[in-house]
Amino acid sequence: MLLVLSAEQRAHLGCLPRAGGAAVGELGRLALEQLRRGAAPRACETAARKLNVGVDTIQHGVEGLVYLLTESSKLMISEVDFQDSIHVLGFSDELNKSLLQLYLNNRKEIRSILGELAPRLPSYHSLEWRLDVQLASRSLRQQIKAAVTMKLHLNQNEDQTAQVLQTDPATLLHLIQQLEQALGEMKMNHCRRIVRNMK
């Protein structure tokens, strides 16, 4: 799978040759620091003075590298696919090798950083349900009134919580149909591509 770069991302990565081939290591270090701790303008200014280039060049290069490394790590693209993805930038072989090495050396750490940034959502543990049917009452001798009561047990941050939900069978049937339709749409190629990119 190839990583598709927008025109803006290509322009940001286009700053790398201007910074020089030796700058990839420095910009890579800044990109990883930005992922770990957030933006650091002073570090960019220091790097700009050290490499004798403009601060904007450094900032754009770091932004481009952050995008390239995070998206490549999210998709866990192979070495060959990474090389093909950056080949369109027209960099020298030396610069391409430096970028590849930067990616290969840091992709596991980047994935763990991205995993920590992901929101912790509750996960399903179990479900209890009960169907209550009222056949008659004092005022109405023939009446059928049904209700489905569900107790949904969830795990969140090693704690268990429970949610009690109640609905009528018609609403539950409609909900089931909507979920089945959503599952059917998940099998479409477009949705599969989106899900792969989210991982």
Is-contact 76 107, C-beta < 8 A?
yes
Is-contact 86 96, C-beta < 8 A?
yes
pLDDT of residue 178: 94
pLDDT of residue 44: 79
Mean pLDDT by 10 residues, the chain (199 residues): 73 71 76 82 81 80 85 85 82 83 87 79 90 81 86 88 92 93 82 64
Locus of tokens 């080949």: 87
Q: If you write DSSP's letter for every residue of 2-35 in order, what string do you get?
A: PPPPPHHHHHHHTHHHHH-TTHHHHHHHHHHHHH
pTM: 0.58
pLDDT of residue 198: 58
SS3 181: helix
Reduced 3-state DSSP string for 26-73? HHHHHHHHHHHHCCCHHHHHHHHHHHCCCHHHHHHHHHHHHHHHHHHH
CA distances (Å), origin 92, targets 5, 29, 194: 18, 21, 32
Is-contact 30 47, C-beta < 8 A?
yes
pLDDT of residue 152: 93
